[in-house]
């Protein structure tokens, strides 16, 4: 608790420094010639890779890895999120199919969560605040679940699912379903962008008003929003995945 | 009233009505879910996930109205 409070105080005093428009990556963005969100996203990807390698190295000895660590360690935090997403994918996608697609959603959850969290550090812009990042992530989910839907059910059944159960209504239902499918990456991207921008703006306004102490509740709120948006993005992708993959058991008579 | 102020008003009204409808619907959904959890606390995890999915789907229409407000706002300066 003391540690968290000290961290918050450090962050707020750094935000006073960042109020003058200071950015950590300004030099790098100029020399690489890429926009800020691309550079930040790449740095987080590299960080992600390093964390993965560290985790892999810690658990490579199977006999030792069987016994969990004591207290809050790097490995326990990593496994907490892994356990969380594993159970979520099992309950949302299905007992059998869930573990198959678990890796993708785990990757997505951690990536988005880290990208959101970096915005809380003064002097960094969260990459998810830019619409291009959100849309890119959303389009990848769209391609992924359509690919697996076609792979599992076949192209014919996948498209027939868009038609609805009644043949006479098919032309109308097909258009509506198609639009709702094409809206999915758009709403995923816009949701994360809008929420992160709102959260970041609130934080910036209150840091500008009073740089010390006052923004601490908004940092707590910010951490919650970061987690919630990553969670919502992941669970919605899982639901889309479930709709694309699992429906062949029900057949046409069930709905 | 010139077209500039009409655009500004249109953007503000679009997001205002969208936010009002979305939040009142989300309030109803959360109230029903909390009632269910209060009656049967054991079903908390089973209720929570569909509730969040429902909230996100309600929110997506609010986001679309935000998109329209955003497009209108971009037109103001032009």
pLDDT digits (tens, 9 = 90+) for A221-241: 889 889 989 999 999 999 888
Per-residue model confidence (pLDDT) at position B78 = 63
Of B49, B53, B60, the CB nearest to A191: B60
Q: How crowded is residue B45: how many other Cβ atoms within 10 Å of its Cβ?
A: 10
Mean pLDDT calculated for residue range A22-30 = 76
Contacts of A85 in chain B (CB under 8 A): none
Q: What angle do CA A226, A229, A235 make, to 5 degrees?
A: 135
Contacts of B63 in chain A (CB under 8 A): 187, 190-191, 194
ipTM topping 0.90: no
Mean pLDDT calculated for residue range B39-46 = 88
- Which chain A residue has the Cα nearest residue B57? A236
Counting every residue, how long is chain B? 78
> Which CATH class name applies to B3-77?
mainly alpha
Of B49, B52, B63, the CB nearest to A191: B63
The answer to whether residue B16 neighbours chain A at the CB level (below 8 Å) is: no
Per-residue model confidence (pLDDT) at position A248 = 53
Long-range contacts for A141-148 (Cβ within 8 Å, ≥24 apart)?
Answer: A141/A108, A141/A184, A141/A185, A141/A188, A141/A237, A141/A240, A142/A181, A142/A184, A142/A185, A142/A240, A144/A104, A144/A241, A145/A237, A145/A240, A145/A241, A145/A244, A145/A245, A146/A244, A148/A101, A148/A241, A148/A244, A148/A245
Higher pLDDT, B9 or A251: B9
Per-residue model confidence (pLDDT) at position A139 = 94
Per-residue model confidence (pLDDT) at position B40 = 92
Task: Write out the DSSP string of A49-100.
Answer: HHHHHHHHHHT-SHHHHTSPPSSS-HHHHHHHHHHHHHHHHHHHH-TTTHHH
Task: List Cα–Cα distances, A216 to A2, A195, A223, B56, in angstroms.
Answer: 14, 19, 11, 27
> How far is the alpha carbon of B5 from chain A, nearest alpha carbon, in Å?
24
Model confidence at A121: pLDDT above 70: yes
Contact (CB, 8 A) for A15 and A29: no
The answer to whether residue A131 neighbours chain B at the CB level (below 8 Å) is: no
- Which chain A residue has the Cα nearest residue B61? A187
Cβ contact, residue pair B63, A235, below 8 Å: no
Per-residue model confidence (pLDDT) at position A253 = 44
- pLDDT digit string (tens) for A132-149? 999 999 999 999 999 998
The residue among A48, A180, A46 whose CA lies nearest residue A106 is A48
Model confidence at A219: pLDDT above 70: yes
Task: Determine the Cα–Cα distance for residues A243 and B9; give it in Å rounded to an integer.
Answer: 40
């Amino acid at each position: 608790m003391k540690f968290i409070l000290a961290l918050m105080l450090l962050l707020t005093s750094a935000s006073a420094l960042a109020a003058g428009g200071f950015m950590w990556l300004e030099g790098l963005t100029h020399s690489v010639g890429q926009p800020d969100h691309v550079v930040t996203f790449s740095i987080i990807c590299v960080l992600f890779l390093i964390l993965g390698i560290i985790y892999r190295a810690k658990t490579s000895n199977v006999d030792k890895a069987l016994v969990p660590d004591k207290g809050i360690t790097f490995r326990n935090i990593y496994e907490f999120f892994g356990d969380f997403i594993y159970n979520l994918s099992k309950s949302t996608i299905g007992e059998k199919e869930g573990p198959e697609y678990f890796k993708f959603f785990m990757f997505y959850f951690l990536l988005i969560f880290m990208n959101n969290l970096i915005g809380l550090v003064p002097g960094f812009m969260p990459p998810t605040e830019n619409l291009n990042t959100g849309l890119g992530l959303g389009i990848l989910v769209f391609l992924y679940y359509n690919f697996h839907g076609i792979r599992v059910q076949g192209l014919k059944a996948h498209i027939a699912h868009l038609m609805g159960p009644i043949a006479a209504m098919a032309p109308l239902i097909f258009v509506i379903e198609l639009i709702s499918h094409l809206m999915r990456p758009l709403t995923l991207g816009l949701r994360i962008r809008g929420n992160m921008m709102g959260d970041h703006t609130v934080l910036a306004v209150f840091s500008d008003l009073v740089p010390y102490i006052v923004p601490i509740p908004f940092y707590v709120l910010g951490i919650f929003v970061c987690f919630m948006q990553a969670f919502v993005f992941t669970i919605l992708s899982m639901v889309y995945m479930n709709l694309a993959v699992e429906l062949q058991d029900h057949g046409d008579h069930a709905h | 009233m010139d077209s500039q102020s009409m655009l500004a008003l249109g953007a503000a009204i679009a997001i205002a009505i969208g936010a009002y409808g979305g939040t009142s619907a989300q309030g109803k959904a959360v109230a029903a879910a909390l009632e269910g959890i209060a009656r049967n606390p054991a079903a908390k995890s089973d209720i929570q996930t569909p509730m969040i999915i429902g909230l996100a789907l309600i929110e997506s229409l609010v986001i679309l109205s935000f998109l329209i407000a955003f497009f209108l706002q971009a037109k103001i300066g032009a």
